[in-house]
């Protein structure tokens, strides 16, 4: 039997597919029910208001949204924080500006690596080398 410490409460538990002890799984389900009930009664709720009213952390509410357990389609005011900068978003993990910055940085890093490899002549070759017949 595989045993582990619960990452949420620290208690020893028999490993399962949720990687949480039974008590924490039950607590999370209770938190979900609180959120679901509150959202049914209050359509125009913000995530902070939901957190304050239900005493469920914003991190846990965000997890419910990302898992698809809480749909934000019916709640136009519901948004959650970007994982990089914290600006409020409605989809994905990052806002558009963080995504663009990441793409730009990755492109620059890839060009730098390609330029270094090209200068060494080891892995890439240009159009001139394709036309050469040695």
pLDDT digits over 30-69, tens only?
999 999 999 999 888 899 999 999 999 999 999 999 999 9
- Residue 19 falls in which region: left (phi positive, over 0), alpha (psi -120 to 50) or beta: left
Q: Which residues on adjacent β-strands are paired with residue 14? A: 3
For residue 44, being part of any structural domain is answered with yes
Could you give the CA distance from residue 71 to residue 74 in angstroms, rounded to a whole number? 7
Instruction: Find out whether 26 and 35 touch, Cβ atoms under 8 Å.
Output: no
Instruction: Find out whether 58 and 51 touch, Cβ atoms under 8 Å.
Output: yes
For residue 89, being part of any structural domain is answered with yes
Range of the domain at 85: 23-108
Could you give the CA distance from residue 52 to residue 27 in angstroms, rounded to a whole number? 17
pLDDT digits over 70-114, tens only?
988 888 888 999 999 999 999 889 999 999 999 999 999 988 888
For residue 12, being part of any structural domain is answered with no
Domain count along the chain:
1
For residue 118, being part of any structural domain is answered with no
Q: pTM score, two decimals?
A: 0.72
Could you give the CA distance from residue 28 to residue 26 in angstroms, rounded to a whole number? 5
DSSP 76-104: TT--EE-TTT--EESSSSS-HHHHHHHHH
């Amino acid at each position: 039997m595989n045993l582990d410490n619960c990452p949420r409460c620290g208690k020893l538990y028999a490993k399962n597919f949720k990687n949480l002890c039974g008590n924490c799984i039950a607590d999370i389900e209770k938190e979900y029910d609180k959120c679901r009930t509150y959202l049914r009664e209050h359509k125009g709720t913000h995530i902070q208001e939901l957190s304050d009213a239900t005493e469920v952390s914003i991190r846990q509410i965000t997890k419910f949204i990302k898992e698809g357990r809480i749909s934000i389609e019916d709640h136009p005011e519901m948004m959650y924080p970007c994982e990089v900068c914290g600006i409020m978003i409605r989809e994905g993990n990052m806002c558009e500006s963080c995504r663009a910055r990441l793409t730009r940085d990755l492109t620059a890093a890839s060009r730098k690596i390609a330029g270094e490899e090209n200068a060494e002549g080891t892995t890439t070759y240009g159009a001139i080398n394709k036309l050469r017949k040695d």
